[in-house]
């Protein structure tokens, strides 16, 4: 039953079928139940995950490590290790081959688009893309998707608005692809002209016939938005910091914006936030980033690790 992700690399949201996503959602619910009831399980006892992080990360790194431990497995943490050969300029394939021989899977974060594919080519062990530069972040998209599903029961018929740095924000690249497997009513893309999503990421919705509309003003779409997904302007991807300064606060979600939003809408953000959401919004019951999205990250990563490393997890 679980064979479709067993021993597979998780490199891009476009590799998933609708059935894969539905299975991840179901297993994520079971993982949440296990954690609520018992705290942990030994499904992955004896397995080891290498967390190979070349770019800063706190939530993704921490949630993968916590996920592996709650499944009874161990991990090798490689994050900002200054004195390792990684810092001496060793090639990515050599590092991946080395740690693949010590462990059962590699979770990779890297500044270059396509690095996860390079890593996957270097080893037969599963590689999970935990963010490749401004490319993709499929595990974040799965947790975002799970959060929407868990709240609304379905994404079908919803109007989803992605706002902010749609050019460099990898989470929205993966999320729009996952959403395209289902039937949202419309996807609104709100960004300054210089931060528009590149056309390749619009292939998914185009193929599925989902209406995608681009805007510069958030006010245009607030009244019809069910899911408002805000993103950080990705300073680290700018070559000209003057441009960053001009666009960094293009959209700030304030209590006033929430007043103009639907009573039933939800507000999401992949975090970290750097001023895109006013702290006064946190107490709004529609703000799901702290109370749902972040905890869901660990449950989704438990589900993914279990599905990738175990043939039949029977949960
Ligand atoms: N944490 C997310 C990522 O790694 C979002 C962000 O950094 O803005 O892509």
Report how far ligand 1's centroid is from the alpha carbon of 42 (Å). Answer: 30
- The C-alpha atoms of residue 159 and residue 226 are separated, in whole angstroms, by 5
Return the bridge partners of 79, or none: 53
Of all atoms in ligand 1, which is nearest to the CA of residue 130?
Answer: 4
Digit-coded pLDDT (tens) for 147-174: 999 999 999 999 999 999 999 999 999 9
**pLDDT reading at 109 higher than 70:** yes
What SS3 class is residue 248? coil
- The C-alpha atoms of residue 92 and residue 103 are separated, in whole angstroms, by 16
- Residue of 131, 275, 277 to mutate, ligand 1, most atoms within 8 A of C-beta: 131
Whether residue 308 contacts residue 7, with contact meaning beta carbons closer than 8 Å, is answered with yes
Class of residue 295 by CB neighbours under 10 A (exposed 0-12, middle 13-18, buried 19+):
middle
Report how far ligand 1's centroid is from the alpha carbon of 308 (Å). Answer: 23
**pLDDT reading at 83 higher than 80:** no
Report how far ligand 1's centroid is from the alpha carbon of 46 (Å). Answer: 31
Q: How many domains does the chain have?
A: 2
Say yes or no: 85 and 221 in one domain.
no
Say yes or no: 109 and 77 in one domain.
yes
- Residue of 59, 134, 169, 244 to mutate, ligand 1, most atoms within 8 A of C-beta: 169
Residue 315 located in a structural domain:
no
Q: Is the whole model's pTM more than 0.95, yes or no?
A: yes
How many beta carbons lie within 10 A of that of residue 88, not counting itself?
7
Class of residue 72 by CB neighbours under 10 A (exposed 0-12, middle 13-18, buried 19+):
middle
- Residue of 55, 56, 272 to mutate, ligand 1, most atoms within 8 A of C-beta: 272
Residue 57 located in a structural domain:
yes
Question: Ligand 1: which residues within 6 Å by Cβ?
Answer: 131, 137, 170-171, 232, 270-271
Q: What does the pLDDT average to over 67-95?
A: 85
**pLDDT reading at 81 higher than 60:** no
Return the bridge partners of 163, or none: 190, 230
CATH of the domain at 207: 3.40.50.1370
**pLDDT reading at 100 higher than 80:** yes
Digit-coded pLDDT (tens) for 6-63: 999 999 999 999 999 999 999 999 999 999 999 999 999 999 999 999 998 999 999 9
**pLDDT reading at 86 higher than 90:** no
Residue 154 located in a structural domain:
yes
Digit-coded pLDDT (tens) for 287-298: 999 999 999 999
Place of tokens 């992605």: 162
Report how far ligand 1's centroid is from the alpha carbon of 56 (Å). Answer: 10
Report how far ligand 1's centroid is from the alpha carbon of 270 (Å). Answer: 6
Say yes or no: 162 and 239 in one domain.
yes
Say yes or no: 286 and 301 in one domain.
no
Say yes or no: 169 and 270 in one domain.
yes
- For the chain, the average pLDDT equals 96
Q: How confident is the model at residue 90 (pLDDT cuts 50, 70, 90)?
A: confident
Say yes or no: 277 and 206 in one domain.
yes
Residue 203 located in a structural domain:
yes
Say yes or no: 112 and 203 in one domain.
no
Of all atoms in ligand 1, which is nearest to the CA of residue 59?
Answer: 1
Say yes or no: 204 and 289 in one domain.
yes
Say yes or no: 280 and 163 in one domain.
yes
CA Rg, the chain, in Å? 19
- Residue of 271, 275, 300 to mutate, ligand 1, most atoms within 8 A of C-beta: 271
Tell me how far apart the terminal alpha carbons of the chain are, to the nearest angstrom: 11
Q: How confident is the model at residue 212 (pLDDT cuts 50, 70, 90)?
A: very high
Whether residue 246 contacts residue 285, with contact meaning beta carbons closer than 8 Å, is answered with no
Residue 5 located in a structural domain:
no
**pLDDT reading at 1 higher than 90:** no
Of all atoms in ligand 1, which is nearest to the CA of residue 171?
Answer: 9
- Residue of 162, 171, 234 to mutate, ligand 1, most atoms within 8 A of C-beta: 171
- Give helix 138-152 / helix 170-179 axis angle, nearest 10°: 50
Say yes or no: 40 and 99 in one domain.
yes
Report how far ligand 1's centroid is from the alpha carbon of 232 (Å). Answer: 8
Residue from 213, 241, 235 nearest 225 by CA? 213
Report how far ligand 1's centroid is from the alpha carbon of 130 (Å). Answer: 10
Residue 301 located in a structural domain:
yes
Residue 24 located in a structural domain:
yes
Report how far ligand 1's centroid is from the alpha carbon of 310 (Å). Answer: 28
Nearest-10 Cα torsion for 136, 139, 145, 151: -140
Q: How confident is the model at residue 88 (pLDDT cuts 50, 70, 90)?
A: confident
Residue 3 located in a structural domain:
no
Where in the sequence is the domain holding 268, given as residue range(s)?
A: 139-293
Q: What does the pLDDT average to over 269-279?
A: 97
Say yes or no: 109 and 226 in one domain.
no
Q: How confident is the model at residue 82 (pLDDT cuts 50, 70, 90)?
A: low
Digit-coded pLDDT (tens) for 227-266: 999 999 999 999 999 999 999 999 999 999 999 999 999 9
Report how far ligand 1's centroid is from the alpha carbon of 254 (Å). Answer: 21
Residue 84: predicted pLDDT: 67
Q: How confident is the model at residue 313 (pLDDT cuts 50, 70, 90)?
A: confident
Residue 210: predicted pLDDT: 98
Say yes or no: 146 and 53 in one domain.
no
Digit-coded pLDDT (tens) for 125-137: 999 999 999 999 9
Q: Which residues of 144-177 are buried (b: 16+ CB within 10 A; e: fewer)?
A: bbbbbbbbeeebeebbbbbbbbbbbbbbbbbbbb
């Amino acid at each position: 039953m679980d064979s479709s992700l067993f021993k597979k690399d998780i490199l891009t949201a476009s590799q998933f079928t609708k059935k894969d996503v539905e299975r991840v959602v179901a297993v994520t619910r079971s993982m949440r139940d296990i954690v609520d009831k018992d705290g942990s399980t030994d499904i992955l006892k004896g397995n080891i995950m290498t967390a190979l992080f070349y770019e800063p990360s706190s939530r993704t790194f921490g949630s993968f490590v916590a996920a592996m431990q709650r499944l009874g497995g161990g991990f090798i943490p490689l994050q900002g290790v200054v004195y390792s050969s990684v810092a001496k300029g060793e090639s990515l394939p050599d590092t991946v081959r080395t740690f693949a021989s010590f462990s059962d899977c590699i979770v990779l974060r890297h500044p270059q688009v396509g690095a996860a594919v390079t890593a996957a080519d270097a080893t037969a062990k599963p590689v999970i893309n935990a963010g490749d530069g401004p490319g993709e972040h499929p595990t974040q998209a799965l947790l975002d998707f799970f959060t929407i599903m868990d709240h609304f029961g379905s994404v079908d018929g919803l109007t989803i608005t992605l706002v902010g740095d749609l050019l460099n924000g990898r989470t929205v690249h993966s999320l729009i692809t996952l959403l395209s497997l289902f039937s949202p009513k419309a996807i609104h893309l709100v960004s300054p002209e210089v931060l528009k999503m590149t056309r390749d990421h619009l292939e998914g919705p185009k193929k599925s016939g989902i209406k995608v509309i681009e805007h510069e003003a958030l006010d245009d779409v607030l009244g019809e938005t069910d899911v408002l997904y805000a993103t950080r302007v990705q300073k680290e991807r700018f070559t000209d910091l003057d441009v960053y300064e001009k666009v960094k606060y293009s959209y700030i979600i304030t209590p006033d914006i929430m007043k103009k939003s639907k009573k039933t809408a939800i507000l999401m953000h992949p975090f970290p936030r750097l001023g895109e959401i006013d702290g006064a919004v946190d107490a709004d019951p529609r703000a799901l980033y702290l109370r749902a999205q972040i905890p869901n990250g660990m449950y989704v990563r438990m589900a993914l690790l279990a599905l990738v490393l175990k043939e039949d997890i029977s949960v």
